[in-house]
Chains A and B, each alone.
Chain A
Amino acid sequence: MSLSVTIRKMTYTTLSEGASVLRDVHFATSSGESVGILGRNGCGKTSLAYAIAGIVPRLVHGAVDGEIEYRGVQLAQSSTRNWLTKVGVLFQDCDSQFFSLRVGDEFPNSDVVDQFGLHDFLDRSPSELSMGQRQKVALAVAVAKKPEMLILDEPGTTLDPPSRRRLMEILERLRDSGMEMLVLSQRQDGILGITSRVLGLKNGGVCLDCPREALTTNAVADLFEIDVASLEGMPPAAEVPGSEGKEVTLCEGIEFWYSGTPFRLVIEQPLVVRQGTVLGLAGANGSGKSTLLYVLAGLLKARRGSTFVSTSLAKSKCRAAIVFQNPNHQIFGRSLREEIVFGLENLGLPRQEIEQRVAWSQDFFELGDLARDPHTLSYGQRKILALACAFVMEPDVVLLDEPELGLDLHYRVAVEGLIREWRKTRGTSFVIASHDLDLMKRETQALALIDNGKVLSAGPTREVFAAVCEHFGTDEHGLC
């Protein structure tokens, strides 16, 4: 079988920080083969993908040594234009994929619009779509130029289970039609299922190369630096005793809509979370989960009704912190330290207390050098930073929008552990919006199923979970 991508002794060093992101990477893929690249946050997956796509060092500057070849043609001997017509890229942050004011203007032709069922989105602005809808459009955009090879950076992570199933079907069709794929992932299941071979990346080098079926639990645990027991599944959180206390009413009789859109968020009944417990918000892409979290946080003002928590410092309300779904929407500082300290200074804490909390977050979230510019971090690392910024404020209620999105297994285990610990020791309440039904089942004590801006059913997780699975047409692990 002829070779497709060949990489020989490649090293990539960023210009901004002078750090070696990839070291001595060496591998080759066969023609027609779909390969998964697995690794922790910041291990160099995206840099490797960018190098293969020709983005590094041509469009994103950096020093690249070694050889990159695609179907016998060396990148160094090909123009960026020619190279990029062969390779399509789906960015992890799909917002970076768009440049038009209207979704319809993103497509040079209408072939893929039918294939991906995007007719309803064509006249809308990409910024009006939910994250899941945006990822669907972004994939269609990458496929539209009919590339020979498709590089997918964490595909499907923002999609609800039915949309993920449809995405899998589309990807399988594309793969079967001969399109080669390189799938970057932080988890060994899910979309990685379309690949036949897995490469493990650790500290910028390839440390694992095996057929996907041969991927062992031990190898994954070693790659993500976690215990095998954690990988096999944490026990449901309900078994962990929490300091379940008084009820915190989040909102009552609220209504919200974005000007010029038909979408209406209407939550008539009081939404309540018990102190020291987790309330899960489940629902399809675009159902209004993120909007509800923004309204609860006070970042969007409800047109009617009352909210009783807020990220503001108003003494009349229960203090909340929010982590956005997309960390790029949350990061604005020039250094990690500035980012973390920002909220603490707004709280008016004494300097010593601030330093203590910064040191805790640096240690727990493994943030490393706090002088680093957050814009140089990987997507997953930014998500970790966003989580650190929220937790460090020690709020009464933490609002988490897809908290596991972008996190590798190592951090997922750590964050879930932190949620359990804070519930137990501090009585912190959590509201989690997520598509991950496994997470919902494990961590939440109450669930609200949201559809088209309305609560379809709400109650204890053990009572509502079956209805949520039925709504998505999945089993209890979120598998269709």
Chain B
Amino acid sequence: MLSSDLHCGIVALDHRVKFSLLLAYSVAGLTENALLAIWLLVSAVGVLILCRVHRSPYGKALPVLAALLAVLFLLSLWSDPSHEGALKTGVVIAKWMAIAAICISFFVVTRPYDIVAGLRWLRLPSAFSLAVGMGFRFLPVIFEEMRRIVMAQQARGLGKEQGIRRFTHFPRNVAALIIPLLVGIMVRFDDLWLAMRVRGVDVASVSKGQGFRFNAGNLLAIGYAIALAVAGVVL
């Protein structure tokens, strides 16, 4: 019940507040302080869960991201196995994970209209805002395209070999996937770009005229963002 209320609260935050939180986490990411880095990670994972990222198309990307960071951590340990080196690497990895988690959460709970409007609020050019607004779909598009192409290829007999051929044909199957995947992603981005332009997302007229609502949620979140940014600079 509480998590549901908190989820609704986060979704309902003003898009400018969400942007401020994103910026605050990025600024706080400058810290070298281990405690703050741990707080960033813990709070970002909490936000990730409350935003129900695991149920979104981004959910599939989380294990990949975690595995990538774990590999980076191990590689770093291998190059500098000292206690100090491990701590340093741990802080960096924690910050990266926190920022990645908060970015993904942001994209999951913010409408594309609001992402573009928020960037325009930051006085960024329209084309750039549109590109970032589209970028939020990047990971899901890759997963959707991959699934689509694998299914289409399997429908014509690829990748369903039995026994030992399953392994011997694996490189061939992967090779057959790569180029169609790249082409497919390009085509999907063309479609997305067209869909956004046709619907006037770059105008972002919806959010433009909205005034800021001074409710408890927005004010608390703004306060937290300021505190986090200050802590990141001071510590």
Min distance, Cβ B140 to any Cβ of chain A, angstroms? 6
Q: Looking at the complex, which of B42-50, B62-70, B144-152 is the stretch in contact with chain A?
A: B144-152
- For residue A356, CB closer than 8 A to chain B, the reply is no
Map CB proximity to A onto B153-186 as digits: 1 under 8 Å, 0 otherwise.
1111110111000000000000000011001100
Query: Which of A96, A294, A329 makes the CB contact (< 8 A) with B191?
Result: A96
Contacts of A346 in B (CB 8 A): 156-158
Q: State how many residues of chain B have any CB contact under 8 Å with chain A.
A: 46
Min distance, Cβ B67 to any Cβ of chain A, angstroms? 20
- For residue B221, CB closer than 8 A to chain A, the reply is no
Q: State how many residues of chain A have any CB contact under 8 Å with chain B.
A: 50
Contact A332 B152 (CB under 8 A): yes
Closest B residue to A300 using CB positions: B151
Contact A53 B113 (CB under 8 A): no
Contact A99 B192 (CB under 8 A): yes
Closest A residue to B141 using CB positions: A99
Distance of A314 Cα from B191 Cα, bound (Å): 37
Min distance, Cβ B179 to any Cβ of chain A, angstroms? 7
Contact B155 A321 (CB under 8 A): yes
Binding site for A on B (CB under 8 A): 55-58, 107-108, 111-113, 134, 137, 140, 144, 148-149, 151-158, 160-162, 179-180, 183-184, 187, 191-203, 205-206
Min distance, Cβ A327 to any Cβ of chain B, angstroms? 10
Query: Which of B58, B113, B140, B180 makes the CB contact (< 8 A) with A108?
Result: B113
Contact A347 B157 (CB under 8 A): yes
For the complex of A and B, the 10 pairs showing the least CB-CB separation, nearest first, are A312-B160, A343-B156, A346-B157, A332-B180, A108-B206, A105-B111, A96-B191, A99-B195, A330-B152, A332-B149
Within 8 A of B (CB), among A315-339: 321-322, 324, 329-334
Distance of A85 Cα from B203 Cα, bound (Å): 10
Contact B202 A81 (CB under 8 A): yes
Contacts of A101 in B (CB 8 A): 56-58, 107-108, 137, 140
Contacts of B151 in A (CB 8 A): 294, 299, 329
Contacts of B153 in A (CB 8 A): 332, 342
Distance of A145 Cα from B112 Cα, bound (Å): 15
Contact B156 A80 (CB under 8 A): no
Contact A329 B148 (CB under 8 A): yes
- For residue A311, CB closer than 8 A to chain B, the reply is yes
Distance of A280 Cα from B109 Cα, bound (Å): 42
Contact B160 A310 (CB under 8 A): yes
Contact B157 A145 (CB under 8 A): no
Contact B154 A85 (CB under 8 A): no
